[in-house]
Structure 1
Amino acid sequence: MGGEVKRIESIKNMAVFQEFRWASSVRDGGNNIAEFKKINILYGRNYSGKTTLSRIFRALETGSISDKYISPEFKLSFDDGSNATPNSLNSHGQVVRVFNEDFVRDNLRFIVDDEQTINSFAILGEDNAKLEEEIEKHEAELGSEEDRSGLLGDLLGAEDKFKEARKTHGDKLSELEGKLRDKANKAGTGIKHNKSFGDANYNVPKLKTDITAVTRDTYSPLTDEQVGKFHDLLREEPKPEIPESSPFNLQYSVIASKAKELIEKKIQASDPIQELLNDAALATWVRTGRGHHQGKRDQCAFCGSDLPPDLWEKLDKHFNQESEEFRQALDNLLGTIESERSRVPNLLKIKNSDFYSNFTTDLDFLVEQLSTQSTSYCAGLDSIKEQIEHRKDDIFTPLEFDEPESFEDALNAVRDSFEQVRNESNQFTASLSADQSEARAALRLHEVHTFINDIKYEGECTAIDTLNAAMGKAEEAKNTAKEKVDSKRAKINELKAQLKDESKGADRVNDYLNNFFGHQSLSLKAIEENPEDVSSGYRFEVTRDDKKAFHLSEGECSLIAFCYFMAKLEDIETKGNQPIIWIDDPISSLDANHIFFVYSLINAAIVKPKNFLQLFISTHNLDFLKYLKRISNDYKGKGNKRIKIREFFLVERSGDASQICLMPGYLKNYVTEFNYLFHQIYKCATAESIDDGNYHEFYNFGNNARKFLEIYLYYRYPNGIEGDDKLLKFFGEDSIPAIFTDRVNNEYSHLCGVFERGASPIEVPEMKTVAQQIISKIKDDADQYSALLQSIGVKDDLLEKDFNKTQEAG
């Protein structure tokens, strides 16, 4: 666990940090998310939130956070992938040391109440050479992270191998997960978006469930024919219910029976005319002619001869009532046959469009059968018809009825088959939704089966399992190496505990006071709590000229507190453990010399000997920031590669909320508040509108403008002119801009006499006008104005462009 801190991912409900998000705030010029480095310098004005940040880090040191915060939230991420939150303050695995006002209050109660003492601490003693020799031996075996030697070197190597194995495994796993993610829900090609079998809620977990299903031995892949049928099924829309077809009520049996009866029936004339009996054609001709002559003519219409008087009587005896009735029966049967034959084409209408596509094959077969059987049925009727007509032509001669093969049952069987298909289709409508769901599931699994074969899923999983096993072994080796390091450190601490000497802690503080700050008279004194009990311990007192000191100045308090912190970095709990160090504004109430000495002490005791894992220094003092720029930015990394280890940040407050961002180039490069204030005014002067991105510039405009004009006018008129007179002199004879500027500066900077301004909306147009008036007057000195623009990284003067556009429009 642990490592260097990469980011403060988020802060919520902690003083001026209410909804801070690192990823949206701390970005470089290329819009890339920046991160902490080995040495981090943070600049911010008073009340901007620097101490709040230090309290987050102190919570990592003490394991608790102030109960004054209501529901505080924060998250720190380390370079090894671990995180720290208010719920996991003790799991980061790093030694953390923080200097801030809480450290001073907890350890140096004397500074708050001179009746109190200062907490003592133990550093290594100087009298036990044998123990020291043993400690040196164990420390040599422990080795150094810097040189990657000894057990620490082994641990670093094991950690590197573990990180590499974890990265290799993670990359391979991520690669497979990416393929699964794309297959599950990538726009256009993912299963989620497939119109046939997609699922609006389909995701990677569902895909993995499907993969489990298709890799079982019980899964059978679909054939191309099955896939086609399932797609056809999914294209089906629910169809209306198909009504029952009308029964055929075929008359073939009745007709055949009647035909047999009539064709084979015997009849005879009362007094037959032999010649007519012998010649059926003649008999037909006579019978027909009888109808044209009897009761109509006396002469033959064919030959013109007179008709004999007894002709009609002879013919009546030949064509008697029985034969005529028989003839009528034959005609009636022929009509029945014709009627039956005309019914056949309309017995059954089969429309494929009424059915689902999966019934097409069956329907086509039924159409073919219907046509075949109908043709055969009609042929049978035609045969009967032909035999009836033959009997009709020779009515007095019985014939033997040749009954054709009956296709009545075959036709009825076609209807029965149709009814079966119709019922199945209607049932299919009822089950269509469920069947389509099954089809979608089958097609989806088929798609998944094809996918895992294409990407060689089984081989990928095997490779990932192999890499996971290798990562497990690497982690086991790392843990073993860490156990050896922890065991060795425990042994060293055990030996150091036998050497610790609390009296030496005060001596180390005095070394810093005397050697770096020249305070010969001010010192710490170690006093035994109980001189008669050696194990009773010590307490520290501040003395001046060997007497207990009272009424220390604020500067003296700051020096003692910081020297105490620096000396405490060498106590037995800290020394050699490469701590993460946060130093919050250590130069309170110190003069310029002492500020430089504070920087020198940090550089000499922490930075140069590299007695830290990561260093954070926050300040509001530009002089101190100027010195901090001198801290080396080069560091020899792996393979002697020189890397940049320093980063500068700005803690900026807008109203009631603060944010962290990368320090602007001009503030980092020039280290002067004058450039910073000029940039803020210039941005107000050139802003087209107020939004979330520039709101704080207008909110802080009053303070920024007041401080800028104080600095600018002090050097422009260093002869004691009063403030209002300086404004009038600066803006010239026209006093309106000066009065306008003074009102904005005072009302928005101090709320002078206008308390309600604190609850009123910001007058953006007023501020922009004032900002433009200030910039306009500065431009009178073209060289200085150009230099100021260059210092804030502005190449093209936006105000000049606006002025040119206005001139062109005019």
Structure 2
Amino acid sequence: MIKNILKISGLGVYENYSWPPGTEDFEKKNIIYGWNYSGKTTLSRVFSCLEERSLIADLQGCSFALQTDAGEINVGNISSSPLRVRVFNSDFVRENISFSGQGFKPILLLGKGSEDAQRKVEKIEVRNKDVAQAIQRIAGRINDLERSFEEAKREAARNIRQTLRIDPYTATHLVRDAASLQGKGSALRSEEELARLIEQALETDASKPIRLEEIQMKPPLLPHIRAEVEVVLRSQPSLSNTLDALKNNPALEQWIEDGVHLHQSHDHCEFCGNALDQERMHQFSMHFSKDLEMHRDEIRKAIEKVKGTYHQGDLPRIAEIYAPYREELQEALNSYSVAIGGYNQAVKDYGLILQEKLKNPYQAFEAPVIPMPLILSFQNEINSLNRIIQKHNQHVLEFESSRTKAAEGARLHFVQQFLDDQNFLGHERRAKRCASRKQRLERSVEVTRPILSELKASISQAEEGRSRINEKLRSMLGSEAVQIKSQKNTSGSDEFLLIRKGGKPARNLSDGERTAVAFAYFVVGLEDLTEDQFKDTIVFIDDPISSLDANHLFQVTASIRETFFHRVPQPNKTTSWATRCKQIFISTHNFQFFDLIRELEPTAKKEARLYFIKKISATKSVLGNMPKSLSRYSSEYHYLFEAILGFHNSQDKASFENLMMLPNAVRRFTELYTYSRIPTPRDGSVDQRAEKLFGSESAKRILKMLHKFSHGNNIESFTASNELIFDLEHTVNDLLGHIQTNDPHHWNALLEAVQP
């Protein structure tokens, strides 16, 4: 059962409608009263969508949501709605009946001997109803899973976009990357590698490293001159003129050598002042011969050569090297430092012993042993450093492609991570499984459609349908002015024709006759349903009495009572009235018909509800509880007075809630008031009655504006003009002022009637 209308949007006067606070929920019997253009037929079209389980043509682009016992039904899930709904409105008349005398579809009714076929129909329809409910549940589950999966894709894409600064990167790109990983190994990377890839992917052009020069080894190395140094260390100068005292005392020898050079042109010693012994000076000069000087030069040359093998390489700095190789470079530099230290120490050792040889040129020295592993280690460490520099330089050459490759590696890692997470959660897998089950259920329903058609065809009794429609028409019209004739069309199917007495096609039906035929056709069509099906059906009837005169109103009301309401025996041997169908809605603009329908049992509030629908702006109508002034009296007269009085007492008349309906209300009230005072014949006009009651001048003021602004778009143009609202205020003042002054008893009775 439908409980209320949660919302309607984008639909005429229901541009942005929601269920008003305090409005009572629908019950089994619901009567809706409202004037023309208030939105009754539009509301019935929302129910037509429930009947069709899809948006009808006129409602494309709108949305709505209804609260039911089975949960919310909206545009998104209407196709799987479990409700059985039948709607009578102007659309039903247009789509089902041709008033040009041509045929319309026959009504399917149970014929004698068709009980077995009907039981099969009922069994299939019960099953299909259960299947429809299951499909609705599965569709909801699929929607939930798909929403969850889509949100997960969007979230994963957003994380990739933000982490790797890739723009654009959407769920569509994620799906494309996921497809590229199909059939391949996992794209996951270790934490360390992923961090490196992200760092490399985020490098800017400004961070592009510079090319570094490789470390060059200085030739020769110490082993290359070792043999030459060893010869120098073991060699001695000529000994023919050497003095043993000096030879055996290097320090004294050095002191004497310096002194000889200082005293080349001196006769006396600069140290002691004594005269120099020239013979002794000659002996000293002979001692420091050319051979000794040449020998010392060889030693000095050897010292310089050894110094030339000392290595001080131009090493790369950590900050200059490409980040992924920095740790490797640091390790290589540490090893290089140890190796170069050992090598350079060997060089120093050679230099020191040569210095000793220079001081003791007559002494033979042994060269220090050079450990070859030390030399090899030194060479290997330089090679290691150069390999790192080479990799760095290669990265400089491949900077752009490496950055792109790193970004791809990191991106695919995150895509693989998303796929693994989703595979664990199983959203997509479960959604596919649900979709497969939903398709199977839908196919099972489709399989039954031709079976149902065949079964229903077997129980179709077009002639009985014709007689039932004719019976309804005689009841509603009180004669056989219009009847139904059945015949076979060119395809062999049954169709109905509208005829007059004598068998001529009924081509020019009055509005009342059209309404009667359409409503009779609709009511008999409901007899296609079994009793149990009818109990489970929601019916919406929109203005079934359009243009019918007062006599016919009673006959239509009687037909509605017979079709939709019945007495039910009670345990205490009494009876009570109940609704035959699951729920019924009847809307009308005719207050007399509204009064007749609301009096039909049941009327208890627990089963029946009264509603009033009113248009308060060009895009807004409100469906709410019936005002007390309408529900307490069997006339709309009191309600009209209450609305007019409310406007009269309003401080802000331009914002008066019922402003849109007020011109109609004043006109209708004036018609009823003048008729109650001067009950003229049928051809008497409200203008004539008003002129007699109010006087010629007042009557023109009251009626002038109402004739112009009491229908359709005129009302909308009226509400857009403050000047016209001001004129309406004067009209209301004149009307109410006349009644209050000239008809005080009537005035006081009206005031008492509308008191809360």
**Is the Cα–Cα contact under 8 Å of residues 557 and 596 in structure 2 kept in the other structure?**
yes
**Is the Cα–Cα contact under 8 Å of residues 702 and 744 in structure 1 kept in the other structure?**
no
Q: Which residue of structure 1 lines up, in the alignment, with residue 627 of structure 2?
A: 666
Q: Which residue of structure 2 lines up, in the alignment, with residue 721 of structure 1?
A: 694
Counterpart-to-counterpart distance in 2, 1:626 and 1:358: 89
Q: What whole-Å deviation, never above 9, does each CA across 1:152-204 have from its counterpart, x for those lacking one?
A: 255324522x24543554455445445434433359x9645652588754338
1:247 equivalenced with 2:247 (yes/no): no
**What one-letter code is carried by the residue in structure 1 that aligns with 2:163?**
K
Within 5 Å, which residues of 2 pair with 1:495-574?
496-497=461-462, 500=464, 502=466, 505-514=469-478, 523-524=481-482, 542=500, 557-569=510-522
1:585 equivalenced with 2:543 (yes/no): yes
User: Which of structures 1 and 2 has the larger relative contact order (alpha carbons within 8 angstroms, sep 6+)?
Assistant: 2
Q: Which residue of structure 1 lines up, in the alignment, with residue 385 of structure 2?
A: 418
**Is the Cα–Cα contact under 8 Å of residues 146 and 431 in structure 2 kept in the other structure?**
no
Counterpart-to-counterpart distance in 1, 2:43 and 2:651: 29
1:219 equivalenced with 2:186 (yes/no): yes
Structure 2, unaligned runs of 5 or more: 488-492, 567-577, 678-689, 741-746
Within 5 Å, which residues of 2 pair with 1:747-766?
762-764=720-722
**What one-letter code is carried by the residue in structure 2 that aligns with 1:457?**
L
1:362 equivalenced with 2:362 (yes/no): no
Per-residue deviation, 1:388 = 0.9
Within 5 Å, which residues of 2 pair with 1:4-43?
20=11, 25-29=16-20
Counterpart-to-counterpart distance in 2, 1:628 and 1:430: 83
Q: Alpha carbon RMSD of aligned pairs, Å? A: 6.3
1:457 equivalenced with 2:430 (yes/no): no
Q: Which residue of structure 1 lines up, in the alignment, with residue 744 of structure 2?
A: none
Q: 1:320 to 1:408 in 2, by over 3 A?
A: same
Per-residue deviation, 1:277 = 1.9
Q: Which residue of structure 2 lines up, in the alignment, with residue 491 of structure 1?
A: 458
**What one-letter code is carried by the residue in structure 2 that aligns with 1:434?**
T
Q: 1:379 to 1:749 in 2, by over 3 A?
A: same
Q: Which residue of structure 1 lines up, in the alignment, with residue 292 of structure 2?
A: 323
**Is the Cα–Cα contact under 8 Å of residues 582 and 615 in structure 1 kept in the other structure?**
yes
**What one-letter code is carried by the residue in structure 2 that aligns with 1:274?**
D
Per-residue deviation, 1:523 = 4.0
* Segment of structure 1 superposing worse, 170-179 or 433-442: 170-179
**What one-letter code is carried by the residue in structure 2 that aligns with 1:511?**
S
Per-residue deviation, 1:367 = 0.6
Q: 1:191 to 1:280 in 2, by over 3 A?
A: same
Q: Which residue of structure 1 lines up, in the alignment, with residue 340 of structure 2?
A: 374
**Is the Cα–Cα contact under 8 Å of residues 8 and 74 in structure 1 kept in the other structure?**
no
Counterpart-to-counterpart distance in 2, 1:159 and 1:465: 24
Q: 1:336 to 1:580 in 2, by over 3 A?
A: same
Per-residue deviation, 1:414 = 3.4
**What one-letter code is carried by the residue in structure 1 that aligns with 2:356?**
H
Counterpart-to-counterpart distance in 2, 1:771 and 1:48: 23
Per-residue deviation, 1:510 = 1.6
1:298 equivalenced with 2:298 (yes/no): no
Counterpart-to-counterpart distance in 1, 2:213 and 2:565: 98
> 3-state DSSP class of the match of 1:26?
strand
> 3-state DSSP class of the match of 2:694?
coil
Counterpart-to-counterpart distance in 2, 1:124 and 1:158: 20
Per-residue deviation, 1:596 = 4.6
**Is the Cα–Cα contact under 8 Å of residues 120 and 505 in structure 1 kept in the other structure?**
no
Per-residue deviation, 1:390 = 1.9
Counterpart-to-counterpart distance in 1, 2:706 and 2:720: 13
**What one-letter code is carried by the residue in structure 2 that aligns with 1:422?**
I
Counterpart-to-counterpart distance in 2, 1:333 and 1:84: 102
> 3-state DSSP class of the match of 2:476?
helix
> 3-state DSSP class of the match of 1:286?
helix
Counterpart-to-counterpart distance in 2, 1:782 and 1:379: 128
> 3-state DSSP class of the match of 2:114?
helix
TM-score normalised by length of structure 1: 0.65
**Is the Cα–Cα contact under 8 Å of residues 674 and 708 in structure 1 kept in the other structure?**
no
> 3-state DSSP class of the match of 1:134?
coil
TM-score normalised by length of structure 2: 0.69
Q: 1:5 to 1:769 in 2, by over 3 A?
A: same
**Is the Cα–Cα contact under 8 Å of residues 251 and 340 in structure 1 kept in the other structure?**
yes
Q: What whole-Å deviation, never above 9, does each CA across 1:404-428 have from its counterpart, x for those lacking one?
A: 2466665454344333322322433
Q: 1:541 to 1:309 in 2, by over 3 A?
A: closer
Within 5 Å, which residues of 2 pair with 1:648-687?
650=613, 652=615, 654=617, 661-663=622-624, 666=627, 672-675=639-642, 685=652
Per-residue deviation, 1:243 = 2.6
Q: Which residue of structure 1 lines up, in the alignment, with residue 573 of structure 2?
A: none
Q: What whole-Å deviation, never above 9, does each CA across 1:194-248 have from its counterpart, x for those lacking one?
A: 525887543389369749948x683375444444544554565543223324634
Q: 1:576 aligns with which of 529, 536, 541?
A: 529
Q: Which residue of structure 2 lines up, in the alignment, with residue 599 of structure 1?
A: 557
> 3-state DSSP class of the match of 1:603?
helix
Per-residue deviation, 1:492 = 0.6
> 3-state DSSP class of the match of 1:310?
helix
Structure 1, unaligned runs of 5 or more: 12-18, 110-115, 126-130, 143-150, 530-534, 636-641, 689-693, 728-738, 791-810
1:703 equivalenced with 2:673 (yes/no): no
Counterpart-to-counterpart distance in 1, 2:332 and 2:58: 83
> 3-state DSSP class of the match of 1:218?
coil
**What one-letter code is carried by the residue in structure 2 that aligns with 1:185?**
R
**Is the Cα–Cα contact under 8 Å of residues 466 and 485 in structure 2 kept in the other structure?**
no
Counterpart-to-counterpart distance in 2, 1:511 and 1:364: 107
> 3-state DSSP class of the match of 2:693?
coil
Q: What whole-Å deviation, never above 9, does each CA across 1:598-645 have from its counterpart, x for those lacking one?
A: 33332323455977788664433334344444567899xxxxxx9979
1:433 equivalenced with 2:403 (yes/no): yes
Identical-pair percentage: 16
Counterpart-to-counterpart distance in 2, 1:101 and 1:135: 32
Q: Which residue of structure 1 lines up, in the alignment, with residue 170 of structure 2?
A: 202
**What one-letter code is carried by the residue in structure 2 that aligns with 1:159?**
K
> 3-state DSSP class of the match of 1:448?
helix
Counterpart-to-counterpart distance in 2, 1:266 and 1:423: 49
Q: What whole-Å deviation, never above 9, does each CA across 1:464-491 have from its counterpart, x for those lacking one?
A: 6766676566556656666654443221
Per-residue deviation, 1:463 = 6.1
Q: Which residue of structure 2 lines up, in the alignment, with residue 259 of structure 1?
A: 229
Q: What whole-Å deviation, never above 9, does each CA across 1:63-113 have from its counterpart, x for those lacking one?
A: xx99xx99987789999999999xx99xx998967454994899585xxxx
**What one-letter code is carried by the residue in structure 1 that aligns with 2:216?**
P
> 3-state DSSP class of the match of 2:652?
helix
**What one-letter code is carried by the residue in structure 2 that aligns with 1:351?**
R
Q: Which residue of structure 2 lines up, in the alignment, with residue 798 of structure 1?
A: none
Q: Which residue of structure 2 lines up, in the alignment, with residue 639 of structure 1?
A: none
**Is the Cα–Cα contact under 8 Å of residues 614 and 661 in structure 2 kept in the other structure?**
no
**What one-letter code is carried by the residue in structure 2 that aligns with 1:509?**
L
**Is the Cα–Cα contact under 8 Å of residues 161 and 168 in structure 2 kept in the other structure?**
yes
> 3-state DSSP class of the match of 1:379?
helix
